[in-house]
Amino acid sequence: MRTPAAQPWAERSAQPTAWTLLAHYLRPQLQRALILGALMLATVGLELSNPQILRAFIDSATQGSTMDRLVTIAIVFLVVALVTQIASVAETYVAENVGLTATNALRADLTLHCLRLDPDFFTTHSPGELIERVDGDVGLLANFFARFVIHVVGNCLLIIGLIALLVQIDWRVGAALAGVVLLGLLTMDRLHRVSVPRWAAARQASAEFFGFLEERLSGTEDIRASGATAYVMRGFYERSRRVIGKDLLAIVVGSIGIQSAGALLTIGGALSIAVGGYLYLSGTITLGSVYLIFAYTQVLTRPIEQITRQMQDLQVANAGLRRVRRLLGERGSLIDGSHELPSGGLSVDLEHVWFGYVAEDPVLRDLSLHLAAGQTLGVLGRTGIGKSTVARLLLRLYDPSIGVIRLGGRDLRTVALTSLRDRVGMVTQEIQLFHASVRDNLSLFDTRVSDARMLTVLAELGLDEWLARLPAGLDSRLAADGAGMSAGEAQLLAFARVFLREPGLVILDEASSRLDPATERRIEQAIDRLLEGRTGIVIAHRLATLERVEQVLILDRQGVAEWGRRADLAADPRSALSALLSTGGQDLLA
């Protein structure tokens, strides 16, 4: 497994060419690539020798040689044919291995690259499209990685060898076939120029199709509930029709290329029989040589076809590569820091923080506050005012446009992201569950967390009954969207995740949906436990939540409407908080 540090492109060249990619991903497999080259040379040699053996057989037979000699030649022929087959199977095995290893490494690098991009990137690129990029486009490169150089070089050698051998028999035969080969390759090249853009268009249509499909499949409940099935299916048909159209066009144009190669070689075959026949009749060459000329013309089909196919694959790979490069060219705007956050509770400082998702439209205006380690802040404000945005800034999913955020006295920009995300635990409004076991959902795939600890935490949160109902305990698989779990259970599970991480700052973005009183009580208790000895920021959608906080921050369109100790604000009849409390928090829940 490659480590993140080995990820090359983010730090170095953003626009690798096909050749730098090839060199980079083949270097670790140099040995295998050399074996592949050796196998290729062996196959070329064997392929050239086979017709030679047949010629010897024909000539021996026509010149009345002994039976023993004929049998010996026949056995040699069989052995060579068998070894050729074995070599070609071995070559396929090694080539596939090299290709898959290289593309998997590239996939890993691309995935890691995507994970480092800003959240904005994911709002403009659908997951389906990214899957198509990381999987589909990279898949197109497999053949290029494994075979391109070796096949093109190997087949060129084969063609040169063939022509050299034919020239040895008679230069006219060699010259005629060299002409045919040249014409064949030129025609191919022309045809490829036409087929490249067709392939690019086909891949794009397919990426769009997957993007559409992914998005719709992840929202099946809403789609069915709103009766939009027919609309979705119409979209599906439209896109799949487009994919079929583009694919067909690309395939037809590509196959015209291959067919013309075939046609040219038929002409070559006819030509070789004519020239060979003429030379035989004029007594210049033997019957075996006539066969040899014909056999070599037939052998020529394969290298020309393969070179053509490789060139076509290169175009396909190039189309994929162009999109892979565009993806690699995307840059995350966050620059990772190097400092660790101190252990224990973390103090929080915001100093004149401004932030907007779009440059001219600030969501947070001049936000300042100080929260000592171990204290708890409640954040209030109407929907869409920027409460969750504050949480996102604290997790450094974005950097403020102006101002500084400090945790434990450290400017967030100087803190290593791994340390930050280790020390800050967040429970978001929408719980993200993975299609994985309960264990992996709790530990977030961190194998250091022991089962015993998970069971304790689940019991503490009152989730033990829920766990007991699952068929396979911690090994039971959860659905990706939390289907099969109640909203309360999903939230408690999210709390359990944070408990297991022992963070120094806990951010709770309360779900705005209402839960039944019993679940709510359990969640309240869980929150109390979670905040013990830690700094807490609670984005409150319920008045009850405010009872445990020391400080209150109320946001409005102008920025901070109110900030202070809860006890002081509640005691002041003119404060916004008192107004809220007296109306029973109707505004709060709007």
The residue among 96 and 430 lying less far from ligand ATP, judged by its C-beta, is 430
The residue among 367 and 500 lying less far from ligand ATP, judged by its C-beta, is 367
* Structure letter (DSSP) for residue 386: S
* Identity of the amino acid at 1: M
Shortest gap between Cβ of 515 and ligand ATP (angstroms)?
16
Select from 43, 312, 389, 545 the one that contacts ligand ATP (CB under 6 A). 389
∠ CA 138-141-147, nearest 5°, is: 150
Query: Residue 541: beta bridge partners?
Result: none
Residue tagged 């290169």 (tokens)? 314
Query: Residue 406: beta bridge partners?
Result: 349, 411
Does position 385 interact with ligand ATP (CB under 6 A)? The reply is yes
3-state secondary structure of 482: coil
353 in Cβ contact with 404 (< 8 Å): yes
* Choices 95-103, 221-229, 289-297, 378-386; region in contact with ligand ATP by CB under 6 A: 378-386
Ranges within 398-457 binding ligand ATP (CB under 6 A): 429
Does position 384 interact with ligand ATP (CB under 6 A)? The reply is yes
Among 367, 341, 337, 370, smallest CA distance to 354 is for: 367
* Choices 43-51, 80-88, 193-201, 384-392; region in contact with ligand ATP by CB under 6 A: 384-392
Shortest gap between Cβ of 519 and ligand ATP (angstroms)?
20
Which string of b and e fits 106-136 if b means at least 16 CB within 10 Å?
bbbbbebbbebbeeebeeebbebbbebbbeb
494 in Cβ contact with 428 (< 8 Å): yes
560 in Cβ contact with 350 (< 8 Å): no
The residue among 96 and 556 lying less far from ligand ATP, judged by its C-beta, is 556
Ramachandran class of 444: left when φ > 0, alpha when ψ lies in -120 to 50, beta otherwise = left
Shortest gap between Cβ of 559 and Mg ion (angstroms)?
17
The residue among 307 and 506 lying less far from ligand ATP, judged by its C-beta, is 506
Select from 387, 497, 534, 566 the one that contacts ligand ATP (CB under 6 A). 387
Among 4, 110, 92, 3, smallest CA distance to 43 is for: 92
Structure token digits, residue 384: 């869409």
Shortest gap between Cβ of 367 and ligand ATP (angstroms)?
12
Shortest gap between Cβ of 356 and ligand ATP (angstroms)?
8
Ranges within 107-126 binding ligand ATP (CB under 6 A): 123
| Residue 447 binds which entry of Mg ion, ligand ATP, none, CB below 5-8 Å type-dependent | none
| Residue 384 binds which entry of ligand ATP, Mg ion, none, CB below 5-8 Å type-dependent | ligand ATP
Size of residue set near ligand ATP by CB under 6 A? 12
Site residues (vs Mg ion, CB under 5 A): 388
| Residue 503 binds which entry of Mg ion, ligand ATP, none, CB below 5-8 Å type-dependent | none
3-state secondary structure of 34: helix
Q: Whole-angstrom Cα distance, residue 28 to residue 86?
A: 26
Shortest gap between Cβ of 145 and ligand ATP (angstroms)?
37
Q: For the sheet with 410-411, list strands across it.
A: 364-371, 348-355, 402-407, 410-411
Does position 206 interact with ligand ATP (CB under 6 A)? The reply is no
The residue among 379 and 549 lying less far from Mg ion, judged by its C-beta, is 379
Shortest gap between Cβ of 242 and Mg ion (angstroms)?
37
| Residue 381 binds which entry of Mg ion, ligand ATP, none, CB below 5-8 Å type-dependent | ligand ATP
* Choices 103-111, 192-200, 251-259, 382-390; region in contact with ligand ATP by CB under 6 A: 382-390
The residue among 331 and 514 lying less far from Mg ion, judged by its C-beta, is 514
**What secondary structure, in 3-state letters, does 250-315 show?**
HHHHHHHHHHHHHHHHHHHHHHHHHHHHHHHHCCCCCHHHHHHHHHHHHHHHHHHHHHHHHHHHHH
Among 371, 375, 362, smallest CA distance to 394 is for: 371
Among 114, 583, 31, 545, smallest CA distance to 329 is for: 114
Shortest gap between Cβ of 429 and Mg ion (angstroms)?
5
The residue among 138 and 363 lying less far from ligand ATP, judged by its C-beta, is 363
DSSP element (H, E) containing 404: strand 402-407
391 in Cβ contact with 509 (< 8 Å): yes
The residue among 170 and 430 lying less far from ligand ATP, judged by its C-beta, is 430
The residue among 137 and 510 lying less far from Mg ion, judged by its C-beta, is 510
Give the binding site for ligand ATP (CB under 6 A): 123, 357, 363, 381, 383-389, 429
